Amino acid sequence: MNVHIPPVVSVTSGPLPASTKVYRAGTVHPEIRVPMRQIAVHPTAGEPPVTVYDSSGPFTDAAFTVDIAKGLPRLRQAWSQAHVEAYDGRALKPEDNGNLPEAKLTPAFPVQHRPLRAVGGKAVTQLAFARAGIVTPEMEFVAIRENLGRERATAALKRDGEPFSAVTPDFITPEWVRDEVASGRAIIPANINHPELEPMAIGRNFLVKINANIGNSAVTSSMAEEVEKMVWAIRWGADTVMDLSTGRNIHNIRDWIIRNAPVPIGTVPLYQALEKVDGIAENLTWEVYRDTLIEQAEQGVDYFTVHAGLRLRHIPLTVERVTGIVSRGGSIMAKWCLHHHRESFLYEHFEEICDICRMYDVSFSLGDGLRPGSIADANDAAQFAELDTLGELTQIAWAKDCQVMIEGPGHVPMHKIKENVERQVKVCGDAPFYTLGPLVTDIAPGYDHITSGIGAAMIGWFGTAMLCYVTPKEHLGLPDRDDVKVGVITYKIAAHAADLAKGHPAAQLRDDALSRARFEFRWEDQFNLSLDPETARLFHDATLPKEAHKTAHFCSMCGPKFCSMKISHDIRAEAQKEGMEAMAQKYRDGGDLYMPAGE
Amino acid sequence: MNVHIPPVVSVTSGPLPASTKVYRAGTVHPEIRVPMRQIAVHPTAGEPPVTVYDSSGPFTDAAFTVDIAKGLPRLRQAWSQAHVEAYDGRALKPEDNGNLPEAKLTPAFPVQHRPLRAVGGKAVTQLAFARAGIVTPEMEFVAIRENLGRERATAALKRDGEPFSAVTPDFITPEWVRDEVASGRAIIPANINHPELEPMAIGRNFLVKINANIGNSAVTSSMAEEVEKMVWAIRWGADTVMDLSTGRNIHNIRDWIIRNAPVPIGTVPLYQALEKVDGIAENLTWEVYRDTLIEQAEQGVDYFTVHAGLRLRHIPLTVERVTGIVSRGGSIMAKWCLHHHRESFLYEHFEEICDICRMYDVSFSLGDGLRPGSIADANDAAQFAELDTLGELTQIAWAKDCQVMIEGPGHVPMHKIKENVERQVKVCGDAPFYTLGPLVTDIAPGYDHITSGIGAAMIGWFGTAMLCYVTPKEHLGLPDRDDVKVGVITYKIAAHAADLAKGHPAAQLRDDALSRARFEFRWEDQFNLSLDPETARLFHDATLPKEAHKTAHFCSMCGPKFCSMKISHDIRAEAQKEGMEAMAQKYRDGGDLYMPAGE
């Protein structure tokens, strides 16, 4: 037997500027430690550090030694695990990695664990526990995270937003989280075989989340690149990551990713199933698919995209479309259905898929195989017919205690966006909505992070719980590391803009802190409080690189004489000298020159 | 006397890929030639070229020889010029260029023309002509442009949008344009001293327009760079350009820009006035400002941003703001008012400003000196107090036959955007609205083209007529050429997304053509039809650089086996073989497996 020396995989690590990782302990569950990031500002500001949500995991903890070959600490293992047993999992098969010869195989992850599964027919999903009135460690973890470090006493802030039908309390409690999960309005994707996970929630009444896609294709990329993409994506703020690999080594690459992932990992099992039948869609079978579900559930995948809503009867509705079926999984299933003249095996076997998912707590992401891939196809009959079926499947999954979220479009012009949310709420029982953008125009390949960022911000405001990112490479090729970062930052912007517009109780604190730093020319603070401190500093350096420039009361946009913020300070100094009120009085007496507006 | 050899200024020229400049002649005014761009697609598509709006001027006409030292053809000179006279303009003064020694002076533009002005107290504005029932060459030029090359017979397309209170006919006529201008709902910024201009309109019922800002600052940039920025900005789609220079050589640089500008040029005369008093705001006087207005009007500036709405009484309303006054012009005026304890000289002399503007047809862009510069300050009392004053000034300007548009914010969270449009319509008599973004969050310096692109798309949909771009350098420094391009493309996206959402009759033609190209793997056509063909091709090349790749039925995102579009084609072929209807019938007979959704 060959001894495999684990490859040295280097990833980007270390804290972001001026940032410290802090942990808060639970009270219901004292064993949990919930990470947050604190960004310190200059002492002259006289302000406390700003605490922000932190999805980046131990990689940004200065006290943590990164070793990709070891994986992250298996923190959930110590939490109570009711109704589960360890067992000898399914044996690895050569087809799991695309039948590659050993020389071309990505090395196996050095440590293999026996998987856990439910016993006695019990469901071990967060939904089952929530319905039973149990507040799990995961639920409390989520509650603490969602409060962004605020204490209850200071939590009742002035609320200013238009939340539509979202309802978020000033202060999040573990019991409230339990109720949200029990109702199906939120999910906590948390496979019992992913103990490295730092739990998070996806739901209309929570902070809007974002997903980054990674994964190789037959044409390009490797394990080391994909692990770094995952670490890189969460560094910049991705809340979940989907591994959409379609090439070789799918199984082994996924192991390296999950064992090092502090965020939920999603997949589309159909892709690997298709690889196992050599890419011939017609040769897919329920058996191959079922086997793949178990393989991936044992590894620890937290949610599966399943295109069970695309039925044979829907396919004629796509024939007149401008861009047909743009979903990989959707097109594969449509091809299979037509070839066999049969109903989708995913639809027919859906209850059995539920039976597997409930044993491991793999959440469903019910796929939108018939999402529109062009403005012309937006909100058409094909799209909404599938949505109706997703509504039906949601009820079946819930009856089996499976957690469910619903995938959504796509390419949708702005005036058609709200209808998507309204329909989805009505048809799918208010399960969380998880959209890809949407792109609000087709005409800008190369800039589809922007065309979709616009739609994503809007649909997030209207109530969508998670936004799947789009990078500048969309429609053109596989994204590289730089594209991943730009996509993540764009979607953090969209999600945060949505939180602000919904009036989330703590969202505006960061905007205000950054704007105060800007106004006071605390340039380093402005950079450090921003979503991408490195780029902000780089852009400032482009014209003003010297250290002295970083406290200058101007920048190169306007120069020292024209800086409106500097002049604003002069105005305030002048006003204080005179006394605003004294001036106002003077001119009230002399005439109406200086009356407050509205008097 | 020294003989100045004009500098050689090179700018980017030549057509975009697959593009031809075409011209349509007028019928009411046969002397006009209206430019458009036609993008050809591959013969196999069996489709006509796609005609798109073209702001790039002769620089992209393969038949035109670019010579920056000559300037563009003075095409409007031949159009009838009623009620005007040529005269010896104001003499150039050293202060106009910042009192620079000759060695540091930007050379004067090689050809100096005697300026025109109205005679006999007449107004020569497009508004005056429109009210008199006259359809000017400018109005017909605009009508032909706005139809995007469509003929009346094919103009009645299926309209699909939510225009709010915008009303755009299927086919634009010169008479309809006249009515829009006469009502004040639209302006055609067209100084009689800017004969190089290709006229365009700004108004709620027209295509949404975008502005790019250029201009040096005391810290950086030069004439050659600024001329290239203007040519570069319009190449990518800027409809107007503002020269916001605040450094030296302001007069001479502006000459070079205007003489080479096929688009309207806007300025903020207060900046140059401030330079003339050595940057000391308190030393500004009405006389210096008035002289600057005439200087710039004689050069051919098409619109002036005038911060006449910021009154002394408004200033106390800004004291509690997080970011004070963020408008350069606004902060300068506020400083002057406070120092002198006097009402704004711009407000007091506003009618005299109108008297100047009406002699040259310089349009007003009534400045929003008190726009919010942070989320915290959005929609506050200061902002809306100034808007009320802008409404008052609009009526005064209209009474003097001056064209008017209204500037708007700023930093506004999504849920507060619509209120801005509704108030502006009510208060300003439906004059066109011209906003800066707005940015929907403060937390992403380095990405403010995106934070503002989101707000811009939305506010454009709600009825804003022109969107002022923001580049990635916003808040950090002066934009360079690359930033200008990214800002323009982002704002073309926002404007076009707004046109689509409003249901503009021809907007979707381009999205559909590009999506068809995408679906049919006509990669070159997809690139060429996009807003930035070079970048789209570059991104595709990043993983698939070979010529053969440009007709491949996949890209590196998914590879050949997983390309959903390729599979969609397979599906359609299969369906055709079988006959969709035959299949449907078969299963209707055998059971309900294959019924169209909804039956």
Residues above pLDDT 70, as percent of chain B: 94
Residue A581, pLDDT > 90, answer no
Total length of chain A: 599
List, for residues A381-435, the tens digit of each pLDDT value.
999 999 999 999 999 999 999 999 999 999 999 999 999 999 999 999 999 999 9
Q: How far is A115 from chain B (nearest CA, A)?
A: 30
Distances in Å between the Cα of B598 and the Cα atoms of A407, B141, B588 are 22, 49, 14
Let me know: does B514 contact B527? Beta carbons within 8 Å: no
Question: pLDDT tens for residues B148-165?
Answer: 888 776 656 778 999 999
The residue of chain B with its CA nearest to that of A335 is B571
- The DSSP secondary structure of A168-227, one letter per residue, reads --SS--HHHHHHHHHHTSEE----TT-TT-----EETTS--EEEEEE---SSS--HHHHH
> How confident is the model at residue A118, as a pLDDT?
97
Across the interface, do B512 and A561 touch by the CB < 8 Å criterion?
no
| Intra-chain end-to-end CA distance of chain A, in Å | 89
Q: Which chain B residues touch A412 with a CB distance below 8 Å?
A: none
Q: Is the ipTM of this complex over 0.90?
A: yes
Give the tens place of pLDDT for each residue, B393-409. Answer: 999 999 999 999 999 99
- Between these two residues, B581 and A80, which has the higher pLDDT value? A80
Find where tokens 């109706």 sit.
Answer: A388
Residue A434 assigned to a binding site? yes
Distance from CA of A241 to the nearest CA of B (A): 17
Integer angstrom CA distances of residue B585 from A10, A325, A386, B590: 59, 23, 21, 9
A48-52, B380-384, B579-583: least confident range:
B579-583
φ, ψ of residue B321 to 5 degrees: the values are -65, 150
Q: Do A442 and B279 touch (CB under 8 A)?
A: no
List CB contacts (< 8 A) between B324 and chain A: 519, 564-565, 568-569, 571-572
The per-residue b/e assignment along A552-583, b for 16 or more CB within 10 angstroms, e otherwise, is bebbbbbbebbbbbbbbbbbbebbeeeebeeb
Count Cα neighbours of A559 within 13 Å in the Cβ-side half-sphere: 17
pLDDT for B549 equals 76
CA distance B284 to B331: 13
pLDDT, residue A518, reads: 95
Among A208-222, A359-373, B243-257, which is the least confidently predicted range?
A208-222
Mutate to test the interface with B, among A556, A577, A595 (most CBs of B within 10 A): A556
The pLDDT value recorded for residue A315 is: 94
DSSP readout, B528-571?
A: HHSS-HHHHHHHHHTT--SGGGGG-S--TTTHHHH-HHHHHHHH
**pLDDT above 60: residue B592:** no
Amino acid type, B280 = I
Check A497 against B312: CB less than 8 A apart. Answer: no
* 3-class secondary-structure state, position A32: coil
Q: Which residues of B touch A325 (CB under 8 A)?
A: 564, 567-568, 571
* H or E, element range at A24: strand A19-25
Residues of B with CB below 8 A from A596's CB?
313, 316-317
pLDDT higher than threshold 60 for residue B141: yes
pTM: 0.95
User: Is the model's pLDDT at B423 over the cut of 80?
Assistant: yes
Cβ contact, residue pair B515, A376, below 8 Å? yes
Model confidence at B580, pLDDT cuts 50, 70, 90, reads low
* pLDDT in the model for residue B591: 39
CA distance B555 to B542: 11
* DSSP-based three-state secondary structure for A116: strand
Annotated binding site of B for substrate: 213, 242, 271, 307, 327-329, 368-371, 407, 434
For range B522-543, the mean pLDDT:
95
* Per-residue pLDDT reduced to its tens digit, A498-514: 999 999 988 999 999 99
Select the more confidently predicted residue: A123 or A548.
A123
In which band, very low, low, confident or very high, does the pLDDT at B586 lie, cut at 50, 70 and 90? low
- Which burial class, exposed, middle or buried, applies to B90 when counting CB atoms under 10 A from its CB (0-12, 13-18, 19+)? middle
What are A88's two structure tokens? 């000898």
**Angle made by CA atoms B173, B179, B184, in degrees to the nearest 5:** 135
Tell me whether residues B574 and A450 touch, CB distance under 8 A: no
**Nearest C-alpha of chain B: how many angstroms from A396?**
20
Query: Tens digits of per-residue pLDDT, B199-211?
Result: 999 999 999 999 9
Specify the pLDDT at position A422: 97
pLDDT of residue A562: 72
How sure is the predictor about A351, in pLDDT bands with cuts at 50, 70 and 90? Answer: very high
Most B CBs within 10 Å, among A344, A539, A574, to test the B interface: A539
**Residues in A touching B561 (Cβ below 8 Å):** 218, 246, 274, 279
- Our CA-based measurement puts residue A173 at a distance from the nearest CA of chain B, in whole angstroms, of 27
Helix (H) / strand (E) element for B241: namely: strand B240-243
How many Å apart are CA B65 and CA B14, to the nearest integer?
Answer: 10
Average pLDDT over residues A39-56: 96
pLDDT tier at A586 (50, 70, 90 boundaries)?
low
Taking contacts as CB-CB distances below 8 angstroms, the residues of chain B near A555 are 475-477
**Model pLDDT, residue B553:** 84
Binding site members of B for [4Fe-4S] cluster: 555, 558, 563
- Given this model, what pLDDT does residue B180 score? 98
In the A/B pair of chains, how many CB contacts fall below 8 A?
467
pLDDT of A6 reads 65
Q: Which residues of A359-390 are buried (b: 16+ CB within 10 A; e: fewer)?
A: bbbbbbbbbbbbbbbbbbbbbbbbbbbbbbbb
Contact A11, A233 (CB under 8 A): no
Q: How far is A567 from chain B (nearest CA, A)?
A: 6
A328 is in an annotated binding site: yes
Predicted confidence band of residue A593 (pLDDT cuts 50, 70, 90): very low
Tens of pLDDT, residues A300-339: 999 999 999 999 999 999 999 999 999 999 999 999 999 9
Give contacts of A597 with chain B, Cβ < 8 Å. 313-314, 317, 381, 385, 388
Query: Are B219 and A569 a contacting pair at CB < 8 A?
Result: no
Q: What is the pLDDT of residues A227-236, one digit of tens each?
A: 999 999 999 9
Q: Is A196 assigned a ligand-binding role in the annotation?
A: no
| CA pair distance B498, B302, nearest whole angstrom | 25
pLDDT surpasses 50 at A597: no
Run of H or E residues at A517: helix A508-519
CB A8 within 8 A of CB A514: no
* pLDDT value of position B82: 78
Helix (H) or strand (E) holding B436: strand B433-436
pLDDT given for residue B2 in this prediction: 46
Of the candidates A324, A508, A570, the beta carbon closest to that of B565 is on A324
Q: Do A568 and B503 touch (CB under 8 A)?
A: no
State pLDDT tens for residues A79-117: 867 789 999 999 999 999 999 998 889 999 999 999 999
Is A217 in Cβ contact with B514 (below 8 Å)?
A: no
CA-CA-CA-CA torsion sign (A353, A358, A360, A364): positive
Closest CA to B551 of B538, B542, B560, B539: B560
Helices (H), B428-558: 448-462, 481-502, 508-519, 523-529, 533-541
Tell me the CB-side half-sphere exposure of residue B1, using CA atoms within 13 A: 3
Question: How far away is chain A from the Cα of B417, in angstroms, using its nearest Cα?
Answer: 10
Share above pLDDT 90 across residues of chain B, in percent, rounded to a whole number: 80
Q: Do A542 and B375 touch (CB under 8 A)?
A: no
Three-state secondary-structure class, residue A92: coil
Whether B593 sits inside 8 A of A312 (CB atoms) is yes
What is the pLDDT of chain A when averaged over all its residues?
A: 92
pLDDT tens-digit readout, B107-123: 999 999 999 999 999 99
Mean pLDDT of chain B: 92
Nearest to B555 among A476, A493, A544 (CB): A476
Shortest Cα distance, chain B CAs vs residue A348, angstroms: 12
Please give the residue of chain B at the shortest CA–CA distance from A446: B536
Answer whether B598 sits within 8 Å of A542, measured CB to CB: no
Given a cut of 50, whether residue A195 has pLDDT beyond it is yes
- The residue among A409, A391, A400 whose CA lies nearest residue A309 is A391
Distance CA A594, CA B108 (A): 45
pLDDT tens per residue across span B47-90:
999 999 999 999 999 999 999 999 999 999 988 677 899 999 99
pLDDT score, position A542: 85
Q: Nearest to residue B508, comparing CAs of A311, A214, A440?
A: A440
Buried b (16+ CB within 10 A) or exposed e, B165-191: ebebeebbbbebbbbbbbbbbbbbbbb
The reply, when asked if residue A357 is annotated as ligand binding, is: no
Burial tier of A10 (Cβ tally within 10 Å: 0-12, 13-18, 19+): exposed
Q: Who contacts B589 (Cβ-Cβ below 8 Å, separation ≥6)?
A: none
Per residue in A67-76, pLDDT tens?
A: 999 999 999 9
What is the rounded distance in angstroms from the CA atom of residue B337 to the CA atom of residue B494?
Answer: 37
Q: What stretches of A132-173 show up as alpha helix (H) in DSSP?
A: 137-146
Range in A572-576, B76-80, B423-427, B497-501 the model is least confident about? A572-576
CB A337 within 8 A of CB A369: no
Nearest CA in chain A to B330: A564
Q: How far does B117 lie from chain A, in Å, by closest CA?
A: 32
pLDDT at B390: 98
Nearest CA to A69 among A198, A252, A265? Answer: A252
Sort out which chain B residues have CB atoms less than 8 A from A535's CB and list them: 446-447
Per-residue pLDDT at A266 exceeds 50: yes
Query: E strand or H helix at B466, and its extent?
Result: strand B466-468
Residue B6 is predicted with a pLDDT of 65
Q: Cβ A415–B441 below 8 Å, yes or no?
A: no
- When pLDDT is cut at 50, 70 and 90, the band that residue A571 belongs to is confident
Place of tokens 């302990």: A25
- Check whether B487 has a pLDDT greater than 90: yes
Statement: residue A154 has pLDDT above 80: no
Q: Which residue from A minimizes the CA distance to B382?
A: A597
Q: What is the pLDDT of residues B1-25, one digit of tens each?
A: 444 566 778 899 999 999 999 999 9
The DSSP code for B432 is P
Q: What is the pLDDT of residues B348-388, one digit of tens each?
A: 999 999 999 999 999 999 999 999 999 999 999 999 999 99
pLDDT value of position B218: 73
pLDDT of residue A72: 98
Does A313 contact B375 at a Cβ distance shorter than 8 Å? Answer: no
Select the residue from B454, B499, B549, B554 to test the A interface by mutation, using most A Cβ atoms within 10 A: B454
| CB hemisphere CA count around A8 (13 angstroms) | 0
What is the predicted pLDDT for the residue at A591? 39
Q: Indicate the pLDDT class of residue A5, thresholds 50, 70 and 90.
A: low
CB contact under 8 A, A414 and B374: no
**A255: pLDDT strictly greater than 80:** yes
User: Greatest CA span in chain A, whole angstroms?
Assistant: 98
CA distance A335 to chain B (A): 6
